[in-house]
Amino acid sequence: MIIFPNAKINLGLRIIEKRPDGFHNLQSCFYPVGWNDVLEIIPAETFQFSSSGLPIPGDDSTNVTNNLCVRAYKLLNADFDLPPVHIHLHKVVPIGAGLGGGSADAAFALRVLNERFSLGLHVDALENYARQLGSDCAFFVQNKPVYCLEKGDVFEPIAIDLTGFHIMLVYPNLAISTAEAYARVRPHLPETPLRTHLLAPVETWRETVRNDFEDSLFPAYPVLAHIKQQLYEAGAIYASMSGSGSTLYGLFHAPVETPNQFSAYRVWKGRLQTVN
Ligand SMILES: C[C@@](CO)(OP(=O)(O)O)[C@H](O)COP(=O)(O)OP(=O)(O)OC[C@H]1O[C@@H](n2ccc(N)nc2=O)[C@H](O)[C@@H]1O
Ligand SMILES: Nc1ncnc2c1ncn2[C@@H]1O[C@H](COP(=O)(O)OP(=O)(O)O)[C@@H](O)[C@H]1O
Query: Of the listed 37, 136, 153, 212, which one is catalytic?
Result: 136
Catalytic residue at 79?
A: no
Atom 3 (ligand 1): residue with closest C-alpha?
243
DSSP-derived 3-state class of residue 239: strand
Total-model pTM: 0.96
pLDDT tens, position by position, for the chain (276 residues)? 999 999 999 999 999 999 999 999 999 999 999 999 999 999 999 999 999 999 998 777 666 788 999 999 999 999 999 999 999 999 999 999 999 999 999 999 999 999 999 999 999 999 999 999 999 999 999 999 999 999 999 999 999 989 889 999 999 999 999 999 999 999 999 999 999 999 999 999 999 999 999 999 999 999 999 999 999 999 999 999 999 999 999 999 998 888 888 999 999 999 876 655
197-219 burial, b at 16+ Cβ within 10 Å, e below that, comes to bbeeebeebeeebbbbbbebbbe
**Which ligand has an atom closest to residue 23 CA?**
1
Query: Of the listed 8, 59, 91, 153, which one is catalytic?
Result: 8
Domains and CATH numbers, the chain: 2-156 (3.30.230.10), 166-271 (3.30.70.890)
Is 99 annotated in a binding site? The answer is: yes
The Cα–Cα gap between 113 and 150 comes to 28
Give the distance (Å) from ligand 1 centre to CA of residue 117.
30
Amino acid symbol at 91: K
Instruction: Answer yes or no: is the C-beta of 103 below 6 A from any ligand 2 atom.
Output: yes
Which residues make beta-bridge pairs with 93?
none
* Strand stretches in 98-215, DSSP E: 146-149, 154-156, 166-171
Catalytic residue at 91?
A: no
Is 222 annotated in a binding site? The answer is: no
Give the distance (Å) from ligand 2 centre to CA of residue 101.
6
Atom 7 (ligand 2): residue with closest C-alpha?
102
Mutation test residue for ligand 1: of 25, 28, 127, 136, the one with most atoms within 8 Å of CB: 136
Give the distance (Å) from ligand 1 centre to CA of residue 195.
20
The Cα–Cα gap between 211 and 27 comes to 10
